[in-house]
Chains A and B, each alone.
Chain A
């Protein structure tokens, strides 16, 4: 049986999956992943042996200024589509928990393009992200912490007059007794590393492209 599975697995060209992620081709990445599942390929092997190296190459191309964010997001979308198929199989097989993130623009602020960039990049890196949207009240963050049990809470603000709502939200999370359950990462145009320290956040990302490494460093866990 094992030999038969191995033969089927060998027939699946995972290089196509690698290339599909690299080229941001979600349709192909999903199609090849379906074939891999049907052929009973080991999901961990597909992820660790093909998908994560593909995204690592995407990251390298971005760092080397070969790719812009749109290419990276298309790759992330291709990765996400494949991951959604594999994740249930991983959990059934007792795989490692995925990093869960809830994220929102704080109360009073409507700006979300930076937050949405962070979401796309985190999802592309394998995080399970729940978007709480814009103008998110502290009590909504707290309810989502209780319901979703995230590892990370992300908050963003663009305006100087809404930035204080980050502190208000962190204080509310503390008062609600759920602060110890989560790491808090903040960002946004007026936010600084110093401000992050001042308000008691665990991490700060200067922009969307470094948010993934900050999140991984904060959790110190493997993704997917």
Chain B
């Protein structure tokens, strides 16, 4: 498979080789960066008793978001509704909120011409059980019910942040264990992605909506947040980030079309390899979590997101409306820059240069680095070999950049990178060797091999 984007010149925001049309006249990746707004409830219980109030909150916030979108003349708006666990567990609740949001988007399109679409992201609740049941059981069934009902309720795009392999990767990230991380991502997560996304793509095709994409949030972002707290090395988090790429790629290999998920920081790699439009979140997502990659992630984005914001009152307005305004102005700037190719490249390079040298996690998101490593990844045949290659080449890129004085890290980070490079060199050529090793280790108690299609 050749790269969809081979030249750095063609790797810019707002333009993807395979744009997606959806919702009410919204085009993503067709030359314009679209704001993508997400939100969540304030501190409150979700119960039968509070449900009427919850409905009112969503009615109110979507009204405010649409109104502000019209007032600021955004080129379009992508609204993401990511369920809270109780809303996936009881899919009727999640789908009720989809209806509320879809109704408002339709109204604002019909009355004001606002181009818009609704991305529905049921959260993965399969890990309610330990070890997780990935392919059956009440939690799996509830998720599937949510997917199946999405189109009828008014959703335009389906996405998820699936958690297959998390049982192993959580342990691996806490212990900085790259070998276990590679196993979790390339053997467990990749197999679960294939299983789950084959089903999601089939549902989307049958019901006439877009199969968006899947974020490696449970892996890459867990590492990112722990690195931000100085709990784990940044170089480890950077390698994990790139190692998630083959796992997330699986969704597109089985028919997803994008846009990818906003917290899928592996997006630039996915865009380079597949040509799908990508959602990214950066400085405007500080309302949800802090980041060291706030500008660079803008470089090649197609939608620009706030990740999530609580419905709380600020001086000017409720926080989702404030977030909408941040995104609208960011996108306005990107789209003005994009009026000329030179402008788009200039803004991209400023965004890259402002972050890349300050953190290894930013360095591996450089568009040129993403292109080089993507080319190496797609040379490999299986998710395991791709993941091994991703970690290897990311480590090489980082090592070169650190030794060249292009990325600042302290001594303990450098020591960790050396150790991780040795760990990568020790990964076997044959994935069955790694599988056998893990099945014989204490780690095996954390997952059910059959749930990942592994015969014991």
Contacts and interface: CB of A to CB of B under 8 A. Distances in A.
A69 B40 contact: no
A68 B174 contact: no
Interface in B127-178: 127-128, 130, 170-171, 173-177
Nearest to B123: A110
Interface in B217-272: 222, 226, 229-233
A193 B229 CA distance: 18
Contacts of B85: 108-110, 159, 162
B174 A117 contact: yes
B30 interface: no
A198 to B, nearest CB: 11
A73 B173 CA distance: 11
A113 B174 contact: yes
Contacts of B177: 70
B176 A164 contact: no
B41 interface: yes
Contacts of A53: none
A161 B173 CA distance: 26
Contacts of A162: 85
Contacts of B41: 160-161
B46 A73 contact: no
A133 B132 CA distance: 13
Contacts of A184: none
Nearest to A157: B43
A159 B128 CA distance: 15
B315 interface: no
Contacts of A163: 43
A120 to B, nearest CB: 7
A133 B131 CA distance: 11
A116 B84 contact: no
A134 B128 contact: yes
A87 to B, nearest CB: 20
Given A68-B233, A108-B46, A207-B229, A161 B40 contact: yes
- Which residue among A68, A133, A207 has the maximum number of chain B CB atoms within 10 Å of its CB? A68
B418 interface: no
B231 A117 contact: yes
Nearest to A168: B45
A63 B231 CA distance: 11
B231 A69 contact: yes
A65 interface: yes
B211 interface: no
B86 interface: yes
A140 to B, nearest CB: 14
Contact of B173 (A113, A120, A133, A208): A113
Interface string A160-194: 11111100100000000000000000000010000
B412 A66 contact: yes
A73 B229 contact: no
A117 B170 CA distance: 10
Interface string A65-104: 1111111011000000000000000000000000000000
B21 interface: no
B310 to A, nearest CB: 6
Interface of A: 65-71, 73-74, 108-110, 112-113, 116-117, 120, 133-135, 159-165, 168, 190, 207-209
Interface of B: 40-46, 84-86, 125, 127-128, 130, 170-171, 173-177, 222, 226, 229-233, 310, 412, 416
Given A68-B412, A70-B232, 15 more contacts: A68-B230, A69-B226, A69-B231, A70-B174, A70-B176, A73-B175, A108-B85, A110-B85, A110-B125, A116-B170, A159-B85, A160-B41, A161-B46, A207-B229, A209-B231
21 contacts: A68-B176, A68-B231, A68-B412, A69-B174, A69-B232, A70-B177, A70-B232, A108-B46, A109-B85, A110-B127, A110-B128, A116-B174, A133-B130, A135-B128, A160-B41, A160-B42, A161-B41, A161-B45, A163-B43, A165-B45, A207-B231
